[in-house]
Amino acid sequence: MRRGLLLLPPLAMLALPFIASAQDMPGSMQAKNNTAEGGKIFKEICAACHLPDARGTGAIPALAKDANLADPAYPIGVLAKGKGAMPPMDDILTPAQMAAVITYVRTNFGNAYPQPVTEADVKRLGKP
Amino acid sequence: MNDVTQPSRRQLLTLIGRMGGAAAMYQAMTALGHAAETQFTGPPVLSGAKPGASVVVLGAGLAGMVAAYELEKAGYSVKILEFQDRPGGRNYSLRGGDSFTESDGTVQKVTFAPGNYVNPGPWRIPHHHKCLLHYCRQFGVALEPFIQLNHNGFIHSSDAFGGKPMRYREVAVDFKGHTSELLAKALGAGALDQSVTAEDKEKLLEALRNWGLLDANMAYTSSVHVSSQRGYDRPPGGGINGAPTPSQIAKLSDVFSPQVWTAMSFYFNYVMQTTMFQPVGGMDMIGKAFAKHVGKSITYNAKVTKVAQNGKGVTVSYQDVPSGKVNTVSADWCVCTIPLSIIRQVEMQVGPKLAAAMKAVPYAGHIKMGLEFKRRFWEEDDAIYGGHSFTDQAIGQLSYPNDRFFSNGPAVLLGAFTSGAGAFQLAGMTPAERIEAALKQGEVFHPQYRKEYLSGVSVPWTRVPWILGCTSRWSEENRAAHYQNLVALDGRVVLAGEHASYYGGWMEGSMLSGLDAIAQIHKRASAA
């Protein structure tokens, strides 16, 4: 093989969109989760990792009594963009669903931040 | 030198590269036989290792064990620390008698009959994953076909076909037929005359007529001809009633349900194409085969707590989990295969670039469920032998066992394999709730479910304590910002694992990354 043919280094070639389908994955398309209620969204999405009582486990942080929730910008940023091992949730939850579940967590599990988070807040603060 | 009408291969590739970018050129090179289908060309040749040189490997998954195997072969002294009490990492199988403890302490006991198993992690091997296949061949791991594409599996969508499951064969043929008719109509109306020459238009119409099974009017309609691909109402037989009767094609609007093209597109993926394989008896046969060769170097139940390094070597602190006693291991070099999802629990003395990369990569959370039934009703009643049925419900899909076809007695099928919202939804449930959901959703395909059900186990990877996730999920932005920093030797420490590869979630990626890690170490060690 004539290496001179490679106009770009191999890694640049691989960093292309078709790699997105290189993972092992199910061959189905999921129905959209249309749940609107914050508590239900917590149960159906967040509890998978943070556990139903929000106490977290191992490297997964607790959301119970979480001072980080005082400023809505923090949880909005985490949901919209991901953080550490947590993937972004923008492909699963709409801004309205994110607002509902953040509001729920901010007012439950020993958290008392009564000011609701709105869809507009999520759209404003969750931008990439 | 070169005929004007016959561009040289080089000219052609340069042209393709200019016009279509790197991806097009890479594909063209592959087609012309220039580019290899895998990066594996054989095990590494690590000649001239310095006597007494040592490496500590963190993790006895496939990345760690292939690294250890090749290092030992080259003359390095190797020690492996493994958190669990078994080799293999995500390469493992659950059988009757095994138990699985979730991160919240919930214990599930597996009660499958002897010989039955579920592979909670990797479960299928593409024919082009040559590195993995190389070691399977070398270690004598028996492989059998993994039935990937089964035309007789089901496709289900809540909002198409009246919610009724359809055979993959039926919807794929209908999709092909309806789209062919539409394209033929557009061509006939001259709508594409700006895009195709008159000659190509004729060729394409001929292709559509045959490919789409169109009738004399270039329409896709129910007929025995169409049924020769999508199946019959009464199949061909012998004697008096030998003549077949056609099946009725599905409506165009149903056929364009995303579930249909998602499944069709799925089978086109490079990593999903036939032929695929699985080890006979369970995926963990691979991990066990490696452990036969490197097992004597593994310390089990070792929880790594700290990796310290200086210019001379690496010192790893670990806790013996049963006793709580803290020990240390020192070596010249370290290969760390601990998943990024839990590596933050380890105090790692590495540079800022690697430290940032380790924190940057999110993990996907798949779930798998194994359900044992009294008999193979999917074979006996539905003529499904291996392969998959897909649904838009949380369980995602069913996958049927690929081994011991036609056998009597209990058998295990994969009752859920899903990621994203469906996986989170199931993971958030108790084990009993997950089983109930899997039975309820799976009944859509197989009404025999309740009557034949024996037992089940669910493995939600977000609740697997030693990884808290399933596979790394790189974005292109993260790749650009962090990948090279993640895989580069940092002083005397190098990371390996599926997360340090472009084959995330595949055993091939883990192993190629393990081999690259030791090649880096060997190069640096030889230069020193």
Number of structural domains (chain B) is 4
Q: Is residue B33 part of a domain?
A: no
pLDDT at residue B62 tops 80:
yes
B230's tokens: 């999508």
Q: Which residues contact B348 (CB under 8 A, 6 or more apart)?
A: B306, B307, B336, B355, B358, B493
Query: What is d(CA B354, CA B349) in angstroms, rounded to the nearest whole number?
Result: 10
Q: B263: nearest CA in chain A?
A: A27
Query: What is d(CA A109, CA A54) in angstroms, rounded to the nearest whole number?
Result: 7
Which amino acid, residue B54?
Answer: S
Average pLDDT over residues B482-488: 98
Query: What is d(CA B255, CA B495) in angstroms, rounded to the nearest whole number?
Result: 46
Q: Measure in Å the smallest separation between the Cα of A46 and chain B Cα atoms.
A: 7
pLDDT value for A125? 94
Q: Measure in Å the smallest separation between the Cα of A24 and chain B Cα atoms.
A: 6
B490's tokens: 């940092």
A100's tokens: 């509902």
The CATH number of residue B203's host domain is 1.20.1440.240
Residue B415 phi/psi, 5° resolution? -90, -5
pLDDT value for B48? 86
Under 8 Å CB pairs connecting chains A and B tally to: 167
pLDDT at residue B19 tops 80:
no
- The CATH fold of domain A35-125: Cytochrome Bc1 Complex; Chain D, domain 2 (1.10.760)
What share of chain B in percent tops pLDDT 90? 90
Q: Measure in Å the smallest separation between the Cα of B197 and chain A Cα atoms.
A: 30
Judge if B244 and B177 occupy the same domain: yes
Average pLDDT over residues B208-218: 98
Q: Is residue B128 part of a domain?
A: no
* Complex ipTM tops 0.90: no
Residues B403-438 have pLDDT tens digits of: 999 999 999 999 999 998 999 999 999 999 999 999
Judge if B73 and B14 occupy the same domain: no
pLDDT at residue B16 tops 50:
no
Angle between helices B431-442 and B420-427 (to 10 degrees): 130
Confidence of residue A16 (pLDDT cuts 50, 70, 90): very low
| Segment among B16-25, B226-235, B373-382 with least mean pLDDT | B16-25
Confidence of residue A22 (pLDDT cuts 50, 70, 90): low
Chain B interface, best mutation among A16, A19, A21, A23, by max B CB count within 10 A: A23
**B462 near A CB under 8 A:** yes
Q: B265: nearest CA in chain A?
A: A27
The CATH number of residue B327's host domain is 3.50.50.60
Report the phi/psi class of residue B504: left, alpha or beta, with left for phi > 0 and alpha for psi in -120 to 50.
beta
Confidence of residue A25 (pLDDT cuts 50, 70, 90): confident
Residues A71-127 have pLDDT tens digits of: 999 999 999 999 988 999 999 999 999 999 999 999 999 999 999 999 999 999 998
Query: What is d(CA B411, CA B375) in angstroms, rounded to the nearest whole number?
Result: 6
pLDDT value for B21? 45
pLDDT value for B30? 45
Residue A4 CB: number of other CB atoms within 10 A?
7
**B32 near A CB under 8 A:** no
CA atoms lying within 13 Å on the CB side of residue B513: 31
pLDDT value for B1? 39
Q: Measure in Å the smallest separation between the Cα of A78 and chain B Cα atoms.
A: 12
Judge if B328 and B416 occupy the same domain: no
Contact A82 B362 (CB under 8 A): yes
pLDDT at residue B94 tops 80:
yes
The domain in which residue B357 lies consists of 54-87+298-361+475-527
pLDDT value for B437? 98
Judge if B392 and B307 occupy the same domain: no
Judge if B431 and B485 occupy the same domain: no
Partners of residue B472 in chain A, C-beta under 8 Å: none
Judge if B251 and B174 occupy the same domain: yes
Average pLDDT over residues A42-63: 93
Q: Could you give the C-alpha distances from B310 to B333, B334, B349, in angstroms and in order?
A: 10, 12, 9
pLDDT value for A7? 40
pLDDT at residue B154 tops 70:
yes
pLDDT value for B37? 57
What share of chain A in percent tops pLDDT 90? 67
**8 A C-beta contact, residue B459 and residue B435:** no
**B519 near A CB under 8 A:** no
Confidence of residue B250 (pLDDT cuts 50, 70, 90): very high
Query: In terms of DSSP bridges, do strands B302-309 and B314-320 run parallel, antiparallel, or are they unpaired?
Result: antiparallel
Judge if B441 and B485 occupy the same domain: no
pLDDT value for B38? 66
Q: Is residue B271 part of a domain?
A: no
Q: Is residue B273 part of a domain?
A: no
Q: Is residue B446 part of a domain?
A: yes
Output the average pLDDT for chain B.
93
Q: Is residue B160 part of a domain?
A: no
- Scan residues 426-455 of B and list those with Cβ closer than 8 Å to A: 426-428
CA atoms lying within 13 Å on the CB side of residue B151: 7
| Segment among A15-19, B4-8, B157-161, B480-484 with least mean pLDDT | A15-19
Judge if B444 and B488 occupy the same domain: no
End-to-end CA distance of chain B: 49
pLDDT at residue B281 tops 80:
yes
Chain A interface, best mutation among B269, B393, B516, by max A CB count within 10 A: B269
Q: Is residue B502 part of a domain?
A: yes
